[in-house]
C-alpha cells in the first residue's frame, strides 16, 4: 500500500498548509515520488489534479470562514493564498455561483458544491478502480522511427502531430509490421507544468534510412504492466487511472522512471470507434520487498 500511504501523506500535507504556499515539488518530496509519477498517481486516485484539489479545499475552507467569522473578505482571500480579492471573488463565484459577499449575506451553506477533505475511508474507496485485466510482460529492445513534438498536458499538440505523421508514415522503410504504430511519451521529471516529448512512430528493423525530418529512438529491454483499453480514444485516460489508481497500490510493483507508450495495431478501428482497442505499456519493476523475497 506504499502508493496509498503516499497519497494520504500528500493530502495531510495539503490540509496542514492550506494557508501557506504549497509547491508541488515539496509535496512530491514529502511522499517520496518523482513529480511525474506523483501527479499521475494523485490525479488517477482523486480524479482531479493536485492544484485543483488544493484550490477547491481552500475555497471550501474560505467559505466556512466567511460564514463563521467576522474577518474581512480581502483578509480571508489573502490568508488562503489568493493574490488579490478580485481573483478570489472570481474563483469563489465559479465554484459556488455566488460572490463571497452575497454568500455571507445569505448565510446559507452550499454543501453540494463544497470539496470535502479526502479521508482514509474514501481514499480506500477511490482505489476501487475498473474491471481490467493487466498483465506483466518483458518487452525486448526495439527501435522506432517517427515524428516528435514538445507538448504539455494543458496544451496538447499530440493530435496535430498524429495528423502530420499519418500523412508521411508511408515514407518509412524497414517497418516491422504494416499494421503497428506507437505513441511514446518520453519520461519527464515533471509533466504537470513543463513540456515533455511525445513521439508518433512505427517500429523498424533498421534505422539506416530515415525520411527527412524524422528521428529514431531505441527502447531497451524492460518490464511493463500492460492494459488494453477498449473504446473511444477520449476515454483512454480511464485505463491510465486504473493502472495508477487501482492496480499499482495492490500490485507489488513500483513505477520505473522510463518512457511509457501505446500500441495501435489492427484492433484499432479509429479514435471514435467504440470497438477500438489500444494496448498501454507502463514500465514497472517488483518492489524492493518483492525482489528480496525471490
Find all residues with CB under 8 Å of 19, minimum gap 6, and list them: 79, 80, 81
Domains 2-126 and 135-293 alike in fold? no
Percentage, residues of the chain above pLDDT 90: 49
Q: Once rounded to an integer, what is the mean pLDDT over residues 241-261?
A: 86
223 and 138 Cβ atoms separated by less than 8 Å: yes
- pLDDT value for 125: 45
* Virtual torsion, Cα 49, 52, 58, 60, nearest 10 deg: -110
Q: Please, what's the b/e burial string for 160-182 (b: 16 or more CB within 10 A of its CB; e: otherwise)? A: ebbeebeeebeebeebeeeeebb
- 247: DSSP letter: I
276 and 231 Cβ atoms separated by less than 8 Å: yes
- pLDDT value for 35: 80
- pLDDT value for 42: 85
End-to-end alpha carbon distance in the chain? 19
Q: What is the DSSP string of 43-99?
A: HHHHSS-HHHHHHHHHHHHHHHHHHH----HHHHHHHTT-SSHHHHHHHHHHHHSS-
- 38: DSSP letter: H
Dihedral sign from CA coordinates of 187, 191, 196, 200: positive
Give the least confident one: 1-15, 64-78, 264-278: 1-15
Nearest to 5 by CA among 49, 258, 13: 13
Assess if CATH 1.10.10.60 describes domain 2-126: yes
pLDDT at residue 130 greater than cutoff 50: no
Q: What count of Cα atoms within 13 Å lies in the side-chain half-sphere of residue 285?
A: 9
pLDDT in tens, 102-116: 888 887 665 545 666
- pLDDT value for 124: 54
* Helices within 107-177 (DSSP H only): 120-126, 158-166
C-alpha 17/C-alpha 58 separation (Å) is: 10
State the burial class of residue 100 (Cβ atoms within 10 Å of its Cβ: 0-12, 13-18, 19+).
buried
pLDDT at residue 184 greater than cutoff 80: yes
Q: Hey, is 207 helix, strand or coil?
A: coil
C-alpha 204/C-alpha 133 separation (Å) is: 29
Note the pTM of the prediction, 2 decimals.
0.64
Percentage, residues of the chain above pLDDT 70: 86
Q: Give me the CATH code for the 135-293 domain, please.
A: 3.20.80.10
- pLDDT value for 294: 46
- pLDDT value for 75: 96
Question: Is 273 or 79 the better-scoring residue by pLDDT?
Answer: 79
Instruction: Tell me the CA distances in angstroms from 213 to 149, 160, 168, 171, 180, one per residue in order.
Output: 12, 16, 11, 11, 21
32 and 6 Cβ atoms separated by less than 8 Å: yes
- pLDDT value for 192: 57
CB atoms within 10 A of CB 126: 17
264: which 3 cell numbers? 495501435
Q: Residue for cell digits 492494459?
A: 227
pLDDT in tens, 187-206: 876 655 578 899 999 999 99
pLDDT at residue 57 greater than cutoff 80: yes
CB atoms within 10 A of CB 145: 24
- In angstroms, how far is CA 286 from the centroid of its own chain? 22
Q: Domain spans of the chain?
A: 2-126, 135-293
Question: Is 239 or 222 the better-scoring residue by pLDDT?
Answer: 222
**Taking the CA atoms of the chain, what radius of gyration do you get in angstroms?**
23
pLDDT at residue 209 greater than cutoff 50: yes
Amino acid at each position: 500500500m506504499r502508493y496509498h500511504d503516499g497519497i494520504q501523506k500528500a493530502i495531510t500535507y495539503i490540509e496542514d498548509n492550506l494557508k501557506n504556499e504549497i509547491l508541488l515539488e515539496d509535496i512530491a518530496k514529502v511522499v517520496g515520488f518523482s513529480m511525474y509519477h506523483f501527479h499521475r498517481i494523485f490525479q488517477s486516485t482523486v480524479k482531479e489534479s493536485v492544484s485543483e484539489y488544493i484550490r477547491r479545499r481552500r475555497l471550501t475552507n474560505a467559505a466556512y470562514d466567511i460564514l463563521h467569522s467576522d474577518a474581512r473578505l480581502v483578509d480571508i482571500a489573502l490568508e488562503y493564498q489568493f493574490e488579490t480579492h478580485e481573483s478570489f471573488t472570481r474563483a469563489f463565484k465559479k465554484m459556488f455561483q455566488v460572490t463571497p459577499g452575497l454568500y455571507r449575506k445569505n448565510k446559507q451553506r452550499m454543501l453540494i458544491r463544497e470539496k470535502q477533505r479526502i479521508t482514509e475511508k474514501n481514499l480506500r474507496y477511490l482505489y476501487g478502480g475498473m474491471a481490467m485485466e493487466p498483465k506483466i510482460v518483458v518487452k525486448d529492445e526495439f527501435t522506432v522511427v517517427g515524428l516528435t513534438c514538445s507538448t504539455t498536458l494543458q496544451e496538447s499538440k499530440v493530435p496535430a502531430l498524429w495528423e502530420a505523421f499519418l500523412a508521411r508514415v508511408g515514407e518509412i522503410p524497414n517497418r516491422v509490421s504494416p499494421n503497428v504504430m506507437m505513441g511514446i511519451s518520453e519520461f519527464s521529471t515533471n509533466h504537470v507544468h513543463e513540456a515533455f516529448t511525445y513521439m508518433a512512430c512505427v517500429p523498424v528493423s533498421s534505422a539506416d534510412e530515415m525520411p527527412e525530418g524524422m528521428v529514431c529512438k531505441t527502447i531497451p529491454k524492460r518490464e511493463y504492466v500492460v492494459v488494453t483499453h477498449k473504446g473511444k480514444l477520449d476515454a483512454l485516460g480511464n485505463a491510465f487511472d486504473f493502472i495508477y489508481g487501482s492496480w499499482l497500490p495492490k500490485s507489488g510493483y513500483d513505477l520505473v522512471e522510463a518512457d511509457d507508450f501505446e500500441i495501435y495495431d489492427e484492433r484499432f478501428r479509429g479514435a471514435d470507434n467504440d470497438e477500438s482497442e489500444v494496448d498501454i505499456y507502463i514500465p514497472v519493476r517488483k518492489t524492493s520487498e518483492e525482489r528480496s523475497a525471490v
